[in-house]
Amino acid sequence: MCWSATADLVAGSAIAAVGIACVTRAARTRPRAVPLAALPLLLGAHQIIEAVIWNDGGGRGPAVVAWAVIALPLLPLWVPAGVLLVAPPRARLRLALPLVCGVVTSGCLAYVLATKSVTATVRGHTMAYEIGLPHAGWLIAGYLVATIGSLLLSGEAGLILLGALVTVAAAGCAALWRWEFISTWCACAALGSAVLYVWVRRSAPRPADG
């Protein structure tokens, strides 16, 4: 949710580059961390897709659908699954809750996307997406438990720090979006990607990582 096509393109490219570095490092040192290490790459692609939406002036085109697929059903499943793969044994049982929430939330959001149209609209300095989610409160709660909750319960210091930063960032972005100020999402995604890269560099392989 950057404030222009150019900002989205520049930020997305930079975040994707961090993602490539994360995946390359994880593949050499801790293969089970590759899905989580690929998160900046996914977020970078997400920003680049939004640059296309800005150039199109919003609407309901393929770029809007691609943006929604990543943001809605994919992330709440990807994040808890990725965290579970790298979590220490003592944390795996408690991570079942975020994973179950992710599966249920992702399934519900996938159904909504399959049965409804997503519309992107420029509002002030932000891009708004409308889909008319049923039971939005419950879906948002499940989404947050799956994504932020899995990071906070991971048992990995670097991921817990990332979860805390994302919690603060999500609240800030929501407030700024409501007032239609310039979105802070680009900065938050960049910061989160940097934290994840540091975690990947410092993360020691476990015997189960093989």
DSSP string, 22-85: HHHHHHHH-GGGHHHHTHHHHHHHHHHHHHHHHHHTSBSSHHHHHHHHIIIIIHHHHHHHHHHH
Looking at residue 161, what is its pLDDT? 94
Looking at residue 207, what is its pLDDT? 56
Based on C-alpha coordinates, what's the Rg of the chain? 17
**Percent over 90 (pLDDT), the chain:** 69
Torsion angle in degrees (nearest 10) through CA of 103, 104, 110, 112: -170
List pLDDT tens digits, range 78-97.
Answer: 999 999 999 999 999 999 99
Query: Quick check: pTM over 0.75?
Result: yes
Q: How confident is the model at residue 139 (pLDDT cuts 50, 70, 90)?
A: very high
Q: Average of pLDDT values for 137-162?
A: 94
Q: Average of pLDDT values for 126-151?
A: 90
Q: How confident is the model at residue 163 (pLDDT cuts 50, 70, 90)?
A: very high
Q: Which long-range contacts link 58-63 to residues 24+ away (Cβ below 8 Å)?
A: 58/119, 58/120, 58/121, 58/122, 58/127, 59/119, 59/120, 60/117, 60/118, 60/119, 60/120
Looking at domain 5-209, does it have CATH number 1.20.1070? yes
Looking at residue 126, what is its pLDDT? 78
d(CA 82, CA 150): 9
Could you state, in order of their start, the residue ranges of all structural domains in the chain? 5-209
d(CA 88, CA 108): 29
Asked if residues 186 and 11 have their Cβ atoms less than 8 Å apart, the reply is yes
Both structure tokens of 178: 């409501």
> Across the strands, what pairs with 122?
127
Q: Average of pLDDT values for 131-151?
A: 91
Looking at residue 4, what is its pLDDT? 83
Q: Average of pLDDT values for 27-45?
A: 94
Looking at residue 176, what is its pLDDT? 60
Q: Average of pLDDT values for 132-138?
A: 87
**Percent over 70 (pLDDT), the chain:** 89
Looking at residue 181, what is its pLDDT? 46
List pLDDT tens digits, range 101-125.
Answer: 999 999 999 999 999 999 999 887 7
d(CA 210, CA 198): 21
Asked if residues 12 and 42 have their Cβ atoms less than 8 Å apart, the reply is no
Looking at residue 185, what is its pLDDT? 62
* DSSP 8-state class, residue 208: G
Asked if residues 62 and 117 have their Cβ atoms less than 8 Å apart, the reply is no
Looking at residue 190, what is its pLDDT? 80
Q: How confident is the model at residue 209 (pLDDT cuts 50, 70, 90)?
A: low
